[in-house]
A and B are shown apart, each in its own frame.
Chain A
């Protein structure tokens, strides 16, 4: 399969394929971070997570339309406004969902899974009714266009670099919130012992709602970033949900580092394999390996050994 390539060309192919993998990695991480918080910390399976991502994408799309029509001079910075807005809208909607649906089902995880699947169907149809079945895209600001020529053979698109930078920043922020902020302490306290956390004065209900809201907000931001590298359709969220859940489980639920490491492994494996096999076989092989490893090591790659 290496016939006809020089070593230099092969290296360039691997580098570029690896970079494509890094963009996929960014998407996985952005989606998985929110999920890792909601599933890892609360044990809630949110099948509508992809739809929260798409909500953020549509908010960004609307924002872009607004800036184009009314504030064309400021179009270069619309994205940052959109991102903040996407976080707030998705986060607020997430809290509403927690209040109306999730909190009734905390002790029935399998039922939560089914109910949030129902929510995802309703959201998909809502998007379709409001924005139409066709995919929409935003005009990328000029400074994000073009690509960076690294060597004669290797060039990387700037929007990709931007999304990756953004991913790094968001992942850093999440880690900071989780391990350094008062909210993070409360969340971890509630995870370890709900009754005790309540007894020492933590409002566990509010902590749950905030956690779910923040997880959904991060999905919204992920959706914003998503518009930079692809177009948005009503069912785009569903395409990634299974992969993302595998990413979270593979990394070991509850481990932020595990989530990122597993997102990296899976995305790199998939995009490098894609060069040698057809896209679908690459995906089959990657997912099959992940499922196979999970069958042998169900707790995922990184977990703490804890007392029952």
Chain B
């Protein structure tokens, strides 16, 4: 029977992955100049966050308004390493205390704080980029989920945490670079990250990591854990009374989301060359949710498109009509919730896919059937006519 097999990828999903891969690795590098490509690389770093949000929010029903925290922690870990590498005693010889980052010197800090020391080591830094945000997410998740705090309370608390971290970073400028953040980053293990060629290389590394995250997210959703998340979103009590400790699953997916956001943050630092508190506070954190919502809260591929499109629109608007941007952003928040709760992926499912299926049926029989299957994906038996359920989505999109 059809349900007896779990296919890791349906043909439609393979096509979806390939199309995105072609866009990221071929189309964009070919049509963009190096400046624009770097810009798109920056947009793609938000795709990491959005994928994590699809897992937490779309699948699990956990809305975090503090993903910027994890993006920022990952980014800061990377920035601290790069800053230390750029602050050699020779390069900083004009400072009162040579060999420490310039902003410390400006703030009368005379020795490197102990918690900066380990970031001299690249291996430790790589470890910290994942471990620090995930450990932080674990603490938050453990405290909240084992006490069954969820929904809007969780959203508000995570937002407060984003606010606290921002104020803390800005307030402690001697140790963190303050509101300007950590700037003037130059080399990674001696390799200059500023020239165009380096940025292009980083763009491709970023793309590979993004696909790694997409793959992990896809496998999680395809496993029993993925179905459990949907079950928890819809009927948390039933899951509990089927013998599962629900909190563990929520903690896990929240940590995975945090880890992905952190990788995005680290790649942001590398590609853009700085990290600052303005990228991680309340406003950027809630914008990250809208990237995910625009792409489709149930679709990991959609989330990447959403992140890129919204950021691209933001840049385009800010260049031409800066005063219109907030209107557009506001309208996007309202529109995506009221009119298109499943975002771009939902629009594709509702309007594009039926037409493709119709086209496929017109095709002669000898080629017809596999294509039909390919486009219909795994939810074909489920049928249409879905309304919004009380706790979020009532459908489980394929990719």
Interface residues of A, Cβ cutoff 8 Å to B: 43, 45, 101, 104-105, 107-115, 117-122, 124-125, 128-129, 242, 245-246, 249, 278, 280-281, 283-284, 287-288, 290-291, 294-296, 298
Contact = CB atoms under 8 A, between A and B. Distances in A.
B334 to A, nearest CB: 4
Contacts of B153: 249, 298
A280 B330 contact: no
B209 interface: no
Contact of B152 (A113, A122, A129, A294): A113
Contacts of A298: 144, 147-149, 153
A128 B322 CA distance: 12
Nearest to A106: B390
Given A115-B337, A245-B156, A122 B327 contact: yes
A216 B17 CA distance: 47
Given A114-B333, A242-B282, A287-B163, A45 B327 contact: no
Contacts of A125: 323, 326-327, 330
A292 to B, nearest CB: 9
Q: Sort chain B's interface into a size bin.
A: 35 or more
A291 B157 contact: yes
Interface in B240-275: none
A45 B323 CA distance: 27
B26 interface: no
A121 B330 contact: yes
3 smallest CB-CB distances across A and B, nearest first, come from A118-B333, A280-B171, A122-B330
B274 to A, nearest CB: 21
30 contacts: A43-B152, A45-B152, A45-B155, A107-B388, A107-B390, A108-B337, A111-B337, A113-B152, A114-B286, A114-B336, A118-B330, A121-B329, A121-B330, A122-B326, A122-B331, A122-B334, A125-B327, A128-B326, A242-B282, A249-B156, A278-B171, A281-B171, A284-B164, A284-B168, A287-B164, A288-B164, A295-B140, A295-B149, A295-B157, A296-B147
Interface of B: 57, 63, 65, 140, 143-144, 147-149, 151-153, 155-157, 159-161, 163-164, 167-168, 170-171, 282, 286, 289-290, 293, 323, 326-327, 329-338, 341, 388, 390-392
B63 A113 contact: yes
A284 B160 CA distance: 10
B334 A101 contact: yes
B53 to A, nearest CB: 12
A225 B147 CA distance: 39
A128 B323 contact: yes
Interface centre among A110, A125, A295 (most CB of B within 10 A): A110
A122 B324 CA distance: 9
Nearest to A45: B152
Given A110-B152, A114-B337, A242-B163, 19 more contacts: A110-B57, A113-B65, A114-B293, A114-B336, A118-B333, A118-B337, A121-B330, A122-B330, A122-B334, A242-B282, A246-B160, A281-B168, A283-B167, A287-B160, A291-B161, A295-B147, A295-B149, A295-B157, A298-B153
B171 A284 contact: yes
Contacts of B332: 118
Contacts of A124: 326
Contacts of A43: 152
Contacts of A280: 167-168, 170-171
